[in-house]
Amino acid sequence: MTKYIFITGGVISGLGKGVASASIGAILQMLGETNITIKKLDPYLNVDAGTMNPIEHGEVFVTDDGTETDLDLGYYERFLEIITTNRNSTSSGKLYQKLIEKERSGDYLGKTVQMIPHFTNIIKEFISYNKGDLDYILCEIGGTVGDIEASAFFEALRQFKNDVGIQNVLFIHLTYLLFLPATNELKTKPTQNTIRDLQQVGIVPDILICRSEIPIPLTIKEKLSLHTNLPIQNIISAVNAHSIYQVPLNFISEGLHLILSDKMDIQNPINTIKWRQLNHKLLNLTIPLKIGIVGKYTELNDSYKSILESIYHAGIYHNCKINVDWINSRVHGESTYEGIDGVLIPGGFGDTGIENMISLIQVTREKNLPTFGICLGMQLMVIEYCRNVLRMENAGSEEFGNFRPNVISKMKQWSSEDYGGTMRLGKTEITIDGSSKAFDIYGKNKIHERHRHRYDVNDKYLTDLESNGLKIVGRCSDHNLVEVVEMDEKIHPWYIGCQYHPEFQSSPFNPHPLFVSFINRSIHQSQLK
């Protein structure tokens, strides 16, 4: 029988339910329960995260099958080393869309379609899909209890508990304890209120995880126990950690694994070796390194969450303590990159800040700084090269206007005027030139990477680029689109751009080879100072 763990949130959003959910999954794996998956249910009405502003919502994470999802799925994949799909992420918009399609096709046989039971049934179907193949399904509910948008989700959870049996369901509630510096005390009233909100919709949490700025004293746990009817040991302290990868071990130190073992009838001893080794490395990084990220959405670090994590993963691999220097291309037109050891130009959309990014790329190329361009970053590397090496002064991209020439053009296969789900999305096979630096990095000539774009390098200009030092060393196997460009080491020590998003396939236990190579060269650059 499949068992279900639901993770809900209260008081405020942004508490880290994604990290908490991934950490709970990691603890199950440490207990020997490896046949698991995690799903994210978002209450927003967007069909998916693909059209949402990264400054407001954070990055869009793309799965193998091309699903555009919330960034929490990145945590799931990195912590658990699993592959997620469209079955791991949904939204109210996507579920309503399915409901309307069923109504239009006559599935309800003329009945009045209502929130209960029809929409809640759609939610429950998503939760329990592939249950026969799994021992555990974890579900994170986006937003907070009490949100109007999430009301149907909580009603579905209430029903679901009765459908599958209370013995097969565990509710974990993540909340926030307010800290008042003036009185040096934690306030519990908001948490008491959010528990009351849960109880009013028919859900009683089994475990309470409390985020706080300071360790939670026993007196506070006793107070919470009194007001929530939870045993003290079921109230878990979640103090701010030095790294998100410390969170599973922090939960274990609070005894969360013992509660899971008891509630889920798990008989296996816990094995924390892999996670303790990782955190030992994290706490003992010795090589200082400064990496510049030239981006358009630097106000919110979550806009580049997978990029950041991939850099840190490679840093762990090389024993590097990495300091990221954010360079906002919308306000910085010039930079000497003083003190920076390597520069990464990530993906993005729209013409805002583009000219500044191109100018900054010229600096990295001419100063021989290790330069790594991803998606839009690669396209801008090509534009910069065309302008300043090939002397095509007006070279640009079709995305930003009618340049002469458009060395970056819209791909015909993905030319829809609609925005949602119409880009080139998901994993594709790529062929790497056997004589290239990229081949040396990957160690093979067939790779598989994830994409999210609708523009690519115009084939008309490839001969000129290659004859002047910018080599095309990777092509997708089915459409022959440009995937990887690089400069010869004799011209530039490390200058690589890729059209795909390697950051979506990196984990702290298996860092992506491109990031590993980039950080390695950046270390060498730092030693030249």
Residues serving a catalytic function are: 375, 501, 503
Residue matched to tokens 């300091």: 323
At 327, which amino acid appears? I
Cis check for the bond before 181: say yes or no (omega within 30 of 0).
Answer: no
At 88, which amino acid appears? N
Helix axes 92-104, 120-128, angle to 10 degrees: 110
Return the closest-CA partner of residue 35 out of 175, 165, 138: 138
Say how many Å lie between the first and final Cα of the chain, rounded. Answer: 61
Sign of the torsion angle spanned by Cα atoms 152, 157, 159, 163? positive
Cα–Cα distance, 432 to 222 (Å, whole number): 60
Cα–Cα distance, 88 to 76 (Å, whole number): 10
C-alpha to C-alpha distances, 362 to 344, 356, 484, nearest whole angstrom: 13, 10, 19
Cα–Cα distance, 37 to 127 (Å, whole number): 11
The distance from CA 474 to its chain's CA centroid, rounded to whole angstroms, is 25
Return the closest-CA partner of residue 503 out of 21, 61, 16: 61
Find the radius of gyration of the CA atoms of the chain.
Answer: 25
